[in-house]
Amino acid sequence: QKEVEQNSGPLSVPEGAIASLNCTYSDRGSQSFFWYRQYSGKSPELIMSIYSNGDKEDGRFTAQLNKASQYVSLLIRDSQPSDSATYLCAVRVDSSYKLIFGSGTRLLVRP
């Protein structure tokens, strides 16, 4: 069983819509969760981090964490074509400070 699971997509949404990206993880002891955006051929860029249950908002982005259900999600409001990228979920296994990445979800925002 993979430690961090994401739907590979592509997730296609129209411009202006809300894009919802989901991630589940297997290690109940995980405490740190990160969303990275990766454009094709580029390196991952940190978008958001979240450590506590609930929602965390930053501009058009909202990260949601539910430790009991072991999932973390990223909502992108007012999606723009420039948001088209692969979104990587990463979970820190705190015993080693190691980041475990999912395979990413490809998002396509249609003009």
Min dist. Cβ of residue 108 to other proteins (A) = 16
Residues 6+ positions from 62 with CB-CB distance below 8 Å: 55, 56, 74, 75, 77
Q: Given candidates 7, 32, 70, 75, which one binds other proteins under the rule CB under 8 A?
A: 32
88 touching other proteins, by CB under 8 A:
yes
Three-class secondary structure of residue 48 per DSSP = strand
Phi, psi of 81, deg, nearest 5? -55, -30
d(CA 94, CA 31): 7
66 touching other proteins, by CB under 8 A:
no
71 touching other proteins, by CB under 8 A:
no
Kindly list the residues in this chain that would bind other proteins in the complex (CB under 8 A): 4, 8, 31-32, 34, 36, 41-46, 49, 51, 88, 90, 92, 94, 96-99, 101-104
